[in-house]
A = this chain, B = another copy of it.
């Protein structure tokens, strides 16, 4: 805590867990870890170590967020199928005492539980000697934990402020759906720059390609922000951060420093518009709206969203190619998925001017002429600015017709394509 203004102090009072809340978390974590060790012993599972990782282990969790990440580590010599079997076994045994639970399959399978109001992940991993020797991505987490715990002391409050600021500004969360800042990334930024405000101040001068090398890297990265992972120089901790979220963070940092206020830490609570208000707004804007709805494919978010974004991009390109100009599009996913696109124009003239090569470029222009001059579809054929022009009918003069006919030729991603 280098410097903190009155607003930040006030915010901190609200988001910092009370002693009572902390004790409850610590007790819950201790209990689960002890039980995990007991289960391992009872089942004669060899070489098990249990540890708490993540924000709960680092004092960087925001009051009210009750996530516990408990990692069960095994010796690297253990075969993978055994690791999965033991990991799920311990998870299932713990689940007996939980309110609800499920098994998830990422790189390894792991177990999610609800336990006394906490969201608990029980994750099996290999206990490798160093970060260079990791077998799967989750093996890196304990090293992250170690690094942050070593460097974060005294800066926890700054991390809380930064996380809350990022959440309210809608740039927090590294899932592909959001493309924002991860918790680990926010911690590294505070460690690197030294305080909440220093991170914001630095961000006001960021440009795409901004690179923070807490250790040197030989690798060259392409992402808007590069933060070399201090425990693995080949990895960019900010790899998932999109240009959108990157610039949004620059923008809100600048705004906050010019006019600090508590609202920057409060989530926006937009009042939903009534149907009438929505219709009225479209009337005022004189725009068109098309939507593509379909059953949400049954897959995890980190596969679904990239496919939805891919679809969004290729449908936009299709529309633009046919002269329908997109104002803004958005994807939504719940039980149903939806791509909505606001268009400048829903329908177009039936004529498009197709320009040929300049008349003096002999062969090409003769070919063009032969192709179009006697084509029964050609409305008119003439010379403009020294080039042949054929006025041709459009294949699609209404956006709906275009989408209905051409959607299947768009790059949609496997799952989305199947669902549509």
- Residue in contact with A362 in the complex, picked from B204, B369, B379, B388, CB distance below 8 Å: B204
Contact with B along A284-316 (1 / 0, CB 8 A): 111110000000000000000000000000000
Q: Is the interface of A mostly helix, strand, loop or mixed?
A: mixed
Task: Assess whether B287 is in contact with A350, with CB atoms less than 8 Å apart.
Answer: yes
Question: Once the chains are docked, how many angstroms separate the CA of A288 from the CA of B349?
Answer: 8
Q: Note all chain B residues with C-beta closer than 8 A to A248.
A: 359, 383
10 A-B pairs with the lowest CB-CB distances in the bound complex, closest first: A247-B359, A286-B350, A287-B349, A207-B360, A344-B349, A247-B386, A286-B349, A285-B351, A243-B386, A250-B359
Task: Assess whether A383 is in contact with B247, with CB atoms less than 8 Å apart.
Answer: yes
- How many chain A residues touch the partner (CB < 8 A)? 46
Q: Does A251 contact B (CB under 8 A)?
A: yes
Q: Does A205 contact B (CB under 8 A)?
A: yes
Given A250-B360, A360-B247, A385-B243: A349 in contact with B285 (beta carbons within 8 A): yes
Question: Once the chains are docked, how many angstroms separate the CA of A207 from the CA of B388?
Answer: 14
A372 to chain B, nearest CB (A): 13
Contact with B along A235-251 (1 / 0, CB 8 A): 00000000110111011
A331 to chain B, nearest CB (A): 15
A367 to chain B, nearest CB (A): 12
Q: Note all chain B residues with C-beta closer than 8 A to A358.
A: 247
Question: Once the chains are docked, how many angstroms separate the CA of A354 from the CA of B41?
Answer: 66
